[in-house]
Amino acid sequence: MFADIIPQFGGLIWTILAFVLALSIIVAIHEYGHYIVGRWCGIKADVFSIGFGPILFSRMDRHGTRWQMAALPLGGYVKFRGDGNAASVGDDGTLEEMTPEERAQTMTGASLWRRAATVAAGPVFNFILSILLFAGMVMFLGRPTEMPTVGQTVLLPSEMIQLEPGDQILSIAGNPIETFADLNNVVRDLPSVQLLPYEVLRDGSVIEVEATPPMPARADTVQPRSAAWDIGMRPGDVILTAEGNPLYSFSDLQAVVKAADGGTVTLTAWRDGEILDFILQPRMRDVPLPDGGFERRALIGITSSLAFEPATVRSGPIEAISFGGQQVWSILGRSLSSLGYIITGKISTCNLSGPIGIAQTSAVAASHGAATFIGFIALLSAAVGMLNLFPIPVLDGGHLVFHAYEAVRGKPPSDNAVRILMMIGIALMGALMVFALFNDLTCA
């Protein structure tokens, strides 16, 4: 449905809306974490803002906090009582006029542990949002069953013979299949032929059928700004031939791209009954390896999928929360690993995306439906939480470093030192933003 709306609605507008929606949700949860934990700690908030600039909407609640929506939805902030700015640097003039009781309700006057808890709450709420979104997906949408069972088939050319919904795959070309992990392990070793022998359990009976290889050369997703995207390939395209030779599986396509060694590849694809021709120029990318590290490969920017949607089973609350936690932990590990490789020069800095790249990815995720978009928000929320914990002044991690210094020394850093470090932090974040934006505009 979304994919049909996008061309009519306008790609640029859709990209902006998807990005703003994703970012607004993540920022709102992050700032609400600061706000609610601060309130629990007795620290009063004067302003809760989503966005910056001219105020579009505002209202005052019974706690004396003004909730507002501003014109530039590219972030947000909570201004606590006594703050001189949105970075929670105290306003000396205002603080001096307060009574001791009033001062205790400010970020500057609250006890150390209350300030630290309030600061840490923003990233923590981002992680909680990610965990809950991942958990909700497997609770309400489900995840693939352990046994390889066909849920729904995907759209393929009529000459490709498919299995039927409900079929449980027992073996393929003599290879026993007990789990989806087994299926993934044998896919690359299957013979390159148009039809393969399957043994399936159908309606209580074990039968043998012939069907298309389990992972055809079909684009499940097409990454924005990739080689495939830029020549017009879209999700659902089935690649029939490469250099005039028939392709029966995604492994066949990968072999052709690898053999081209960075050279152009001529493809013929099927899209909703129409035959399309493409000339593709693969691009070199740093690909993360399962056991850590990266490998330089020629990529075209599409991901594969099975010739069917797996049957799913819904998880219970405890299992779902555990799954969500594992997903967030995995995201943090991969992100830190990638950052380390970028800093040490082991992989290209083009692996760092800026606002344009993230916006394009959000639009593509939204075009794949609500589930994919929710998964993208969960991933981005975890990344935002991690970024905010970096020990850079102006970020939450920088404030936590100040609090750690105070805990060790028994007194906070001087106001002058804080202001200088804040200026350095702003310069660092500005430089990082410019660098990421430069990547968006120059990296293929």
Confidence of residue 11 (pLDDT cuts 50, 70, 90): low
Of 283, 313, 343, which closes a domain?
Answer: 313
Q: Same domain for 278 and 192? A: yes
Number of domains in the chain: 2
Q: Same domain for 273 and 205? A: yes
Residue 116 lies in a domain: yes
Amino acid (one-letter) located at 307: A
Q: Same domain for 157 and 99? A: no
More confident residue, 423 or 285: 423
In sequence order, what are the beta bridge partners of 238?
218, 270
CA distance 104 to 443: 50
CATH of the domain at 229: 2.30.42.10
- Active-site position among 31, 101, 159, 406: 31
Confidence of residue 1 (pLDDT cuts 50, 70, 90): very low
E strands in 61-195: 66-80, 143-144, 150-153, 168-172, 175-176
Residue 62 lies in a domain: yes
216-255 CB burial, b ≥16 within 10 A, e <16: bbbbbbbbbbbbbbeeebbbbbbbbbbeeeebbbbbbbbe
Residue 338 lies in a domain: no
Of 313, 338, 370, which closes a domain?
Answer: 313
pLDDT for residue 44 is more than 90: yes
Q: Same domain for 126 and 251? A: no
Q: Same domain for 305 and 169? A: yes
Q: Same domain for 274 and 289? A: yes
Residue 264 lies in a domain: yes
Task: Determine the structural domain holding residue 410 and report its residue range.
Answer: 2-140+381-442
Q: Same domain for 127 and 206? A: no
Q: Same domain for 295 and 152? A: yes
Confidence of residue 9 (pLDDT cuts 50, 70, 90): very low
Q: Same domain for 186 and 269? A: yes
Residue 370 lies in a domain: no
Q: Same domain for 222 and 167? A: yes
The stretch 151-162 carries a mean pLDDT of 87
- The count of residues in the chain is 444
Containing 201, the helix (H) or strand (E) segment is strand 196-202
More confident residue, 9 or 35: 35
Q: Same domain for 279 and 293? A: yes
Instruction: Verify whether residue 31 is a known catalytic residue.
Output: yes
Q: Same domain for 20 and 162? A: no
Of 313, 331, 351, which closes a domain?
Answer: 313
